[in-house]
């Protein structure tokens, strides 16, 4: 109740202030110069505060909404998902000298085998008009004496629930790089004691890239699927900055012929 009353008073005061400055704007054309000089100072002081509000509002309203799960999905999609790393702020936004196995947040882990780590990772806020994901993930790689660098993403239980050999699993990535490198995506499906793996190279000719994993060519036991995860593998990452603006997954049954 108090909040509504405060809002009402704010609106009343705003209308009075607007009317007052409207009247002063009309009088400014004939006002005494000394009075006009004082009025200009008051107007500039108010404008500074108004410009601050407008600047922050336009900046924040232009950003993708934190927690947004807006995803471009193919027709027939029965499951889609954006990992938390791209959806909301993580507890520790970044760190340097990343160790060989470094959890970034729940469900996302960086792996490498460098003897001396010169790798920095950071979650960043997406600001482009085209971005659907609120956050991106940046890796700055300097000297790299290891044989592999990967980001492992654990898919939620819903990805495995009801999974059939007739399903296609799609990975969409928006990636930026300082210089070209190869990125591979490896889907891992644990079914019983076995793990089925499918590897695809991301076609990096465009900023927005997509690969699909067709389960029809695997030997997955549909009745024993336990969990899925994806390794994003970066080949030759040294002296490069890699920004994953968005990563999303979706699943759909293959069209019947």
DSSP 160-184: HTT--TTEEEEEEEEEEESS--EEE
Per-residue model confidence as pLDDT tens for the chain (257 residues): 556 656 767 777 788 878 888 888 888 888 888 888 888 888 888 887 877 776 566 556 556 666 666 788 888 899 999 999 999 899 888 989 899 899 999 999 999 999 888 899 999 998 877 788 899 999 999 999 889 999 999 999 999 999 999 999 999 999 999 999 999 999 999 999 999 999 999 998 776 799 999 999 899 999 999 999 999 999 989 999 999 999 999 999 987 65
What's the confidence (pLDDT) of residue 250? 95
Instruction: Give the length of the chain.
Output: 257
Neighbouring-strand partners of residue 253: 167
Residue 57, burial from CB neighbour count under 10 angstroms (0-12, 13-18, 19+): exposed
- Alpha-carbon distances of 181 from 80, 142, 200, rounded to whole Å: 28, 14, 15
Reduced to 3 states, what is the DSSP secondary structure of residue 97?
coil
pLDDT, position 29: 84
Backbone angles phi, psi at 43, to 5 degrees: -65, -40
Assigned superfamily of 79-253: Galactose-binding domain-like (2.60.120.260)
Torsion of CA 216, 217, 219, 221, to 10 degrees: -20
Predicted confidence at residue 61, as pLDDT, reads 57
Q: What pLDDT score was predicted for residue 182?
A: 94
Q: Where are the chain's structural domains?
A: 2-62, 79-253
Please name which of 251, 207, 211 lies closest in space to residue 231, comparing C-alpha atoms: 211
Q: According to the model, what pLDDT value does residue 21 have?
A: 80
How far is 21 from 18, CA to CA, in rounded Å?
5
Check residue 32 and give its pLDDT.
86
pLDDT value of position 256:
63
Supply the pLDDT for residue 67.
63
């Amino acid at each position: 109740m108090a909040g509504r009353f405060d809002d009402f008073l704010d609106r009343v005061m705003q209308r009075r202030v607007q009317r007052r400055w409207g009247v002063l704007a009309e009088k400014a054309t004939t006002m005494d110069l000394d009075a006009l000089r004082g009025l200009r100072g008051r107007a500039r002081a108010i404008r500074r505060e108004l410009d601050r509000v407008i600047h922050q509002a336009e900046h924040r309203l232009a950003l993708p909404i934190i927690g947004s799960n807006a995803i471009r999905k193919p027709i027939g999609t029965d499951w889609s998902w954006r990992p938390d790393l791209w959806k909301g702020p993580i507890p520790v936004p970044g760190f340097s000298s990343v160790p060989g196995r470094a959890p970034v947040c729940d469900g996302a882990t960086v792996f490498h085998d460098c003897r001396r780590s010169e790798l920095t990772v950071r979650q960043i806020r997406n600001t482009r008009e085209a971005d659907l994901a609120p956050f991106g993930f940046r890796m700055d790689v300097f000297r790299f004496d290891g044989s592999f660098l990967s980001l492992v993403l654990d898919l939620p239980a819903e990805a495995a629930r009801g999974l059939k050999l007739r399903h296609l699993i799609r990975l969409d990535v928006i990636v930026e790089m300082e210089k070209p490198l190869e990125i591979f995506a490896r889907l891992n499906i644990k079914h019983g004691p076995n793990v089925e793996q499918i590897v695809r190279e991301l076609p990096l000719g465009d900023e927005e890239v997509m690969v699909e994993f067709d389960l029809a060519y695997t030997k997955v036991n549909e009745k024993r699927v336990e969990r899925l995860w994806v390794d994003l593998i970066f080949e030759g990452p040294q002296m490069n900055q890699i920004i994953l603006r968005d990563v999303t997954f979706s699943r759909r049954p293959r069209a019947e012929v």
